[in-house]
């Protein structure tokens, strides 16, 4: 079944101020500019890259111990998320929706990765976003080196 890839834009674009990687959606400036001209296959490649990067950085800080419990809790809390994405992307949606209100990760089928215990979930959310941006920048620098 054909499924149109939606824009990953989150409405906080920094490419207009000269960033080569958007601080909001983590796409490259040329991808932001050309998004509407891309085929669905091209959009899918970008979306898969972003999903992989986000899942990786979330998984470095938090571990899913029970995916069914996570899904049920997110739905119960009415968190907006994309169920088609990697479950670690769901975790980031959960943190964006209410990191400061979560007091027991086990209720969500989650646990801290070693080295992250005792760090507030608000700080973890910030660290995830920073690492996601850094990973996107590193990928951009690797594959689109300055002339």
Q: What is the pLDDT of residue 100?
A: 96
Q: What is the pLDDT of residue 147?
A: 56
CA-based nearest residue to 88, from 107, 114, 70, 100:
70
The residue to which tokens 């910030």 are assigned: 126
CA distance 119 to 24: 23
Q: If DSSP codes are grouped into helix, strand and coil, which group holds residue 3?
A: coil
Helix axes 121-143, 87-98, angle to 10 degrees: 130
The domain ranges of the chain are 47-143
pLDDT band with cut points at 50, 70 and 90 for residue 38: very high
CA-based nearest residue to 63, from 98, 105, 117, 113:
113
Kindly tell me if the per-residue pLDDT of 106 is higher than 60: yes
Kindly tell me if the per-residue pLDDT of 85 is higher than 80: yes
Please compute the mean of the pLDDT values over residues 39-61 and round it to a whole number.
97
Kindly tell me if the per-residue pLDDT of 21 is higher than 80: yes
CA distance 36 to 41: 12
**In this predicted model, what pLDDT tens digit does every residue of 1-12 receive, in sequence order?**
567 888 898 888
The DSSP code for 112 is: E
Q: What is the pLDDT of residue 4?
A: 83
Kindly tell me if the per-residue pLDDT of 146 is higher than 80: no
**Share of residues in the chain with pLDDT > 90 (%):** 84
Paired with 111 in beta bridges are: 63
In terms of C-beta density within 10 A (0-12 exposed, 13-18 middle, 19 or more buried), how is residue 95 classed? buried
Q: What is the pLDDT of residue 9?
A: 86
């Amino acid at each position: 079944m054909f499924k149109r890839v939606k824009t990953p834009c989150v409405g906080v674009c920094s490419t207009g101020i000269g960033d080569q990687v958007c601080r909001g959606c983590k796409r490259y400036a040329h991808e932001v500019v050309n998004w509407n001209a891309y085929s669905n296959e091209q959009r899918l490649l970008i979306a898969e890259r972003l999903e992989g990067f986000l899942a990786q950085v979330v998984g470095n800080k938090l571990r899913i111990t029970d995916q069914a419990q996570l899904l049920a809790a997110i739905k119960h809390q009415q968190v907006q998320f994309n169920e088609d994405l990697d479950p670690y992307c769901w975790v980031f949606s959960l943190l964006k929706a209410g990191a400061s209100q979560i007091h027991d990760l086990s209720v969500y089928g989650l646990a801290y990765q070693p080295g992250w215990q005792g760090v507030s979930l608000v700080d973890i959310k910030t660290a995830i976003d920073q690492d996601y941006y850094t990973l996107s920048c590193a990928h951009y620098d690797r594959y689109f080196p300055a002339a």
